[in-house]
């Protein structure tokens, strides 16, 4: 585990150094292909660096942060767009703010200046009680894992689904709080209670993994929608944009799965996102076709149908590829290794004479 931590430190020192270079390139060169050309070595580096990490947690979070989000932010910056470009009336981002925003899965909140919020959370995030409750729910699942031979397969898959959701939300929230304290501004929540979604549009666009959504919208959805408007008209331009966005998301998830599993992809995850892309496009088309009708499903029914569709398709196409990498056993081994490392360091500190 110590070797992994050393590799982790090396990776992130390399990330910071590369982003300092990118910031000065963005100052020296105008937007366009020339700036992009000088960004390409960094983009390639960010695709290679996660290969130095082998643990599920460090490789997963690092690949999501730099191989996906950072690279997309740099592609947008090359053409003067995205979160690394300040509003026209604002001053350029400071070096610290640039590196933090570029490297971490955060989005600066436009409505808050302070890294603390009224509810006691950090940087515009939810209240600590919200995350504590979810952590307690996660801990309550551990006895189930110890008796998995006696539990129905579907119940275990539901437990794994809840586990993945809570770990992702809490891990990203911890990063968000740390970033908010570091740069002194508020950041937006990365999740917004996805189990309350009343439609697939609501689930993917406004509730689930909002850091991915916030980077896919300007980098994929909006350009494709603009181009499609010239071909199919503005009314239906959203449909090919939705499909393209889910296709890109599928490829990036396949890449992250490769980083954490190091196995040849089966492309099952791709089918999961393509299926949801088609479903969201159909939902958009249906809403446009039925525009003006007052009748709609009750919110409770919509939630059950939406979450049910996500869970069923997740059981079918998303979880099996993830479990193929022995993620449960890996997570257990990593937790034990980290606990032993922390205990050994604590003992070493106690034994130091003062």
Same domain, 285 and 309: yes
How crowded is the C-beta side of 237, counted as CA atoms within 13 Å? Answer: 15
Same domain, 64 and 175: no
Average pLDDT for residues 320-334, to the nearest whole number? 78
Convert the pLDDT of each residue in 161-195 to its tens digit.
Answer: 999 899 999 999 999 999 988 888 888 999 999 99
Same domain, 36 and 154: no
What pLDDT band is residue 93 in, cutting at 50, 70 and 90?
confident
Same domain, 31 and 174: no
Same domain, 33 and 83: yes
| This prediction's pTM | 0.89
Q: Pick from 185, 214, 226, 191: which is nearest to 82 by CA?
A: 214
Same domain, 271 and 199: yes
Dihedral sign computed on CA atoms, order 271, 277, 283, 289: negative
Q: 346 lies in a domain?
A: yes
Q: Is the pLDDT of residue 295 over 60?
A: yes
Q: 129 lies in a domain?
A: yes
Q: 113 lies in a domain?
A: no
Convert the pLDDT of each residue in 129-151 to its tens digit.
Answer: 999 999 999 889 888 888 888 88
Q: What are the angstrom distances between the C-alpha of 164 and each of 124, 145, 152, 209, 252? A: 23, 14, 19, 12, 17
Domain range for 178: 125-187
Q: Is the pLDDT of residue 104 over 60?
A: yes
Into how many domains does the chain fold?
3
Average pLDDT for residues 31-44, to the nearest whole number? 97
């Amino acid at each position: 585990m110590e070797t992994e931590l050393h590799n982790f430190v090396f990776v992130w020192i390399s990330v910071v150094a590369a982003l300092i270079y990118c910031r000065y390139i963005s100052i020296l060169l105008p937007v366009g292909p020339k700036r992009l050309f000088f960004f390409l070595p960094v983009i390639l580096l960010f695709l290679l660096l996660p290969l130095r990490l082998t643990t599920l947690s460090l490789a997963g979070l690092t690949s999501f942060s730099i191989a996906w989000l950072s690279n997309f932010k740099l592609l947008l910056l090359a053409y003067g767009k995205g979160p690394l470009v300040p509003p026209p009336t604002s001053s350029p981002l400071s070096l610290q703010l640039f590196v933090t925003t570029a490297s971490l899965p955060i989005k600066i909140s436009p409505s808050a200046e302070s890294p603390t919020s009224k509810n006691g959370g950090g940087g515009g995030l939810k209240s600590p009680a919200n995350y504590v409750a979810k952590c307690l729910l996660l801990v309550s699942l551990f006895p189930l894992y110890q008796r998995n031979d006696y539990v129905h397969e579907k119940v275990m898959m539901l437990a794994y689904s809840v586990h993945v959701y809570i770990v992702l939300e809490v891990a990203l929230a911890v990063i968000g709080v740390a970033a908010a304290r570091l740069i002194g501004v508020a950041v937006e929540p990365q999740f917004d209670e996805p189990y309350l979604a009343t439609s697939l549009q609501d689930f993917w666009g406004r509730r689930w993994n909002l850091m991915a959504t916030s980077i896919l919208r300007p980098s994929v959805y909006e350009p494709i929608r603009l181009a499609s408007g010239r071909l199919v008209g503005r009314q239906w331009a959203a449909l090919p944009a939705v499909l393209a966005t889910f296709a890109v998301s599928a490829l990036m998830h396949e890449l992250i799965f490769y980083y954490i599993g190091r196995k040849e992809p089966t492309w099952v995850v791709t089918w999961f996102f393509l299926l949801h892309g088609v479903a969201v496009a159909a939902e958009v088309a249906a809403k446009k076709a039925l525009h003006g009708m007052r009748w709609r499903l009750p919110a409770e029914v919509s939630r059950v149908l939406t979450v049910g569709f996500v869970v069923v398709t997740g059981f079918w196409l998303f979880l099996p590829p993830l479990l193929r990498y022995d993620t449960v056993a890996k997570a257990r081994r990593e937790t034990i290794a980290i606990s032993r490392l922390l205990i050994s360091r604590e003992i070493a500190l106690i034994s130091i004479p003062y």
